[in-house]
Amino acid sequence: MLTYSLYDIVFYFLLYGFLGWMVEVCYYSIRDRRFVNWGFLSLPLQEPCGFSYALLILIMPSLGKRFVIQFIAAATVFAVVDSLAGVFCHRLSRLSRLETETAFTGTRKNWLEMAARAAVFLLVYHIVHPVFMAGVALLPAWLEHTVVWAGIALLAVDLISTLYATRSPLGAVSEEITRSRTQQLADRITGHIWRRLERAYPGIRETQPDAGGADGAADGAGKKIIFAKGLCGDKIIWIFLICALLGDIIETFYCGLVNGQWMNRSSVLYGPFSFVWGIGAVVLTVALRQMMDKSDRYIFVGGFVIGGTYEYMCSVFTELVFGTVFWDYSDMPLNIGGRTNVLFCFFWGILAVVWVKILYPPLSRQIEKIPPLAGKIVTWVIVFLMVCNGLLTAGAMVRYDTRQERPEPAGMVEEFIDEQYDDAFMEARWPNMIGVE
């Protein structure tokens, strides 16, 4: 059973409390273009969020892989913690906002909110938390202990000053100073967000929150703001995501209908995403964008060479980094080291023509119809989750390889991976995966 030290629990309480506070600051700064401190006290912490997450990461290992039970447990914990937060805030009359907004009432709206929080928690716990665990494991023990004790001291001072502020005019002055410092931090965060958005889409600030639509928004000068215009980073991310999803679906049905083998073709632990297809689409788009106006034969030759090289390099990468091989064409004629073959290079050439001439142009236009602000936010979320998903998958694959020689886990991260992604899970997830020396 996975165990955490007391320092770990307090550290995660502070970490998730701060992240919860920061997410709400970002949300309201974008929605209302103003800062509202939704923290429980004065510090930049969402204490109910931090407490709920710290409690749930202790409970989750005992629930195994029963996701429905995990979901119910998470929703219940959020409801109970919010109810207790409401009771506590009722005692502190100065914080009357939470008396009505966080007290658990059992209404359908609150249950839906708790269900949404539970869904987000499961996403964080299974994809993001293992990455945080690996980062915390790299911290020196003295640094973690220092952060924990500093956080406890600040919380104690914050609580005392808040209690004093409810009963003394002088205390109110002290609390106001603390809140002003919190607001300065929030202003820096929100300012950074808007500067990034302004650099990507000049004039977007003037279009919020009233403007926007399916076809973009207009800036103060009446110029239309288009999301992911041209071949930019945002469009590349969306092409990767869409093609990784469609590629996984296509490959799953192809193998099932042609070879009679219905199996997972995803590249990651969570979600039907084939990174080979997603990255392949990005490579073809970037490499062949100068050929979009040329005849099909030039595009075919480019796809033949680029696609075959890309597939070969993917095979080499997975073998060298993870010690595994996901496909082997050694029994097919005209193969190149078993990593690719002339027939599949031919398919890459055809796929390049279809992609450049038929599929990419309408897909690009549809991506550009996404509202700019919503598209930018969703893009950031996608990148964050995909990076965590990829890192977690890489860790599970590396551990699967090392577990053959070293069954006992070395540290909490490997212990977590062994419990969640043992050999049976990995072999069921990727039945074609072959270990190599």
pLDDT tens string 38-89: 555 667 788 888 999 999 999 888 887 788 899 999 999 988 888 787 776 6
Write down the residue that tokens 């938390």 correspond to.
129
Per-residue pLDDT averaged across 106-112, rounded? 56
pLDDT at 284 over 50: yes
Cβ proximity of 277 and 248 under 8 Å: yes
The mean pLDDT of 389-403, rounded to a whole number, is 87
CA distances from 101 to 15, 38, 39, 104, 391 (A): 23, 11, 13, 8, 37
HSE of 247, CA atoms in CB hemisphere, 13 A: 21
User: Residue 399 — pLDDT band, cuts 50, 70, 90?
Assistant: confident
Over the chain, what is the mean pLDDT?
Answer: 77
pLDDT at residue 170 greater than cutoff 70? no
Instruction: State how far the Cα of 253 lies from the Cα of 133, in Å rounded to an integer.
Output: 36
Asked if residues 12 and 30 have their Cβ atoms less than 8 Å apart, the reply is no
Structure tokens at 243: 């093609």
Q: What pLDDT shows up at residue 101?
A: 46
pLDDT of 121 reads: 93
Q: Cα separation of 316 and 332, whole Å?
A: 18
Residues 345-390: pLDDT tens digits?
Answer: 888 888 888 888 888 889 999 998 888 878 888 888 889 999 999 8
pLDDT at 322: 64
- Is residue 218 within 8 Å of 211, Cβ to Cβ? yes
Phi, psi of 72 (to 5 degrees): -65, -45
Q: What is the distance between the alpha carbons of residues 265 and 141, in angstroms, rounded to a whole number?
A: 40
**Taking 50 as the threshold, does the pLDDT of residue 164 lie above it?**
yes
| Cα 162 from Cα 246, distance rounded (Å) | 53
Quote the pLDDT of residue 175. Answer: 47
Name the residue type at position 262: W
pLDDT at residue 43, as a whole number: 74
φ, ψ of residue 328 to 5 degrees: the values are -145, 115
Residue showing tokens 């073709």? 265
pLDDT at residue 435, rounded to an integer: 56
Average pLDDT over residues 95-122: 62
Mean pLDDT on 249-270: 77
**Computed from CA positions of residues 146, 149, 152, 153, in that sequence, does the dihedral angle turn out positive or negative?**
negative
Question: Does 165 have pLDDT greater than 90?
Answer: no
Q: Please report the pLDDT score of residue 40 as a whole number.
A: 55
Specify the residue for token string 């805030």: 89
Q: Using CB atoms within 10 A of its CB, is residue 3 exposed (0-12), middle (13-18) or buried (19+)?
A: exposed
Residue type, 276: V
Which of the listed ranges 149-153, 252-256, 356-360 does the model predict with the highest average pLDDT?
149-153
pLDDT at 129: 92
Q: Of residues 94 and 145, which shows the higher confidence score?
A: 145
* Residues 343, 332 contacting (CB under 8 angstroms): yes
Ranking 113-127, 287-301, 358-372, 385-399 by mean pLDDT, the lowest is 287-301
Q: What is the C-alpha separation between 363 and 358, in angstroms, rounded?
A: 9
- On the question of pLDDT at 249 being above 90, the answer is no
Nearest-angstrom CA–CA distance, 310 and 426: 25
Cis peptide before 202 (omega within 30 of 0): no
Please check the confidence at residue 305 and state whether its pLDDT lies above 80: yes
Share of the chain above pLDDT 90, in %: 14
Choose the most confident range, by mean pLDDT, from 9-18, 164-173, 185-194: 9-18
In this structure, which long-range contacts are made by residues 173-181, counting pairs with CB atoms below 8 Å and at least 24 apart in sequence? Answer: 175/42, 178/42, 178/43, 179/37, 179/42
Domain borders along the chain are 6-200, 225-435
Q: What is the mean pLDDT of residues 147-154?
A: 91
Full-prediction pTM beyond 0.75? no
Query: d(Cα 433, Cα 427) in Å, to the nearest integer?
Result: 7
**What is the reported pLDDT for 95?**
45
pLDDT of residue 409: 82
